[in-house]
Structure 1
């Protein structure tokens, strides 16, 4: 599994939306996050299709979260953009039957299934609210006396 630029942009974009109390326009996100606007429009469409953001049309329109940031996990974001997390082709629900029946294939599949489960659990344990909080802490000014 590789986290693509599309997923990175999606995480950064939804963090920008979550950080704002107002509707957030694609143009604003693109500028602040240094993401190509046309590409970002595609990413935001995937986040909308995944039920993570809502689009408000019209003058002054933009994007807002579809639910509270504490209810959106990193896994939700990744899967909205990339689809289900599968470390091996045969670990997808529909692909399971295509794997060979050799005992070595079963062992390898079982090992990677465990790794995949651990990765998915890690992504599930991180919420959008956690990411925004971490960002706010890292960008807060520090004062030295």
Structure 2
């Protein structure tokens, strides 16, 4: 599983909106692009996808731009990534046979491991809200730690 450039840019754009929530009115794509150093044309496409997923709202015209459609506490990284990249999986390998019917040298065991890896990735990204990430970025919460089993 790779987080695509689109997924990364989408998270960075929404984090920027979250970090600047105290500003009045929508934030222009140009301002988001300048703050995040992301390319504006690509960012416009990504914001349209995020709007379609209900994560941002837009206002047209003078003073227009984007605002978060939900509270930052209610937007998880998994929501953002899946909005622009599709379902979070390691790959599209299908479901394993669990009844002993696997006739390809045990590949079904590997299929189950890949499926579980995708589940771990989803659950990991489900653990981070925009609000939580903003707090870390502002030095108000500890840096993420890898929890080993």
Q: Which of the five TM-score ranges fits, normalised by the shorter chain?
A: 0.7 to 0.9
How many Å separate the matches in 2 of 1:102 and 1:62? 55
CA contact (8 A) 2:11 2:80 kept: yes
Which residue does the alignment assign to 1:19? 19
How many Å separate the matches in 2 of 1:6 and 1:88? 18
Moved over 2 A (4+): 100-103
How many Å separate the matches in 2 of 1:33 and 1:120? 25
How many Å separate the matches in 1 of 2:103 and 2:43? 44
1:1-145, aligned counterparts within 5 Å? Answer: 1-20=1-20, 21=22, 22=24, 23-91=26-94, 96=95, 101-102=102-103, 104-137=106-139
How many Å separate the matches in 1 of 2:110 and 2:55? 34
Deviations 1:69-104 (A, max 9, x none): 00110000000110001102125xxxx49xx94362
How many Å separate the matches in 1 of 2:61 and 2:103? 58
How many Å separate the matches in 2 of 1:81 and 1:46? 6
Aligned residues: 132
The Cα of 1:6 is off from its aligned counterpart by 1.5
| TM-score, with structure 2 as normaliser | 0.82
Gaps of 5+ in 2: 141-149
The Cα of 1:50 is off from its aligned counterpart by 1.1
Q: Secondary structure, in 3 states, of the residue corresponding to 1:10?
A: helix
How many Å separate the matches in 1 of 2:65 and 2:102? 51
Q: Secondary structure, in 3 states, of the residue corresponding to 1:51?
A: coil
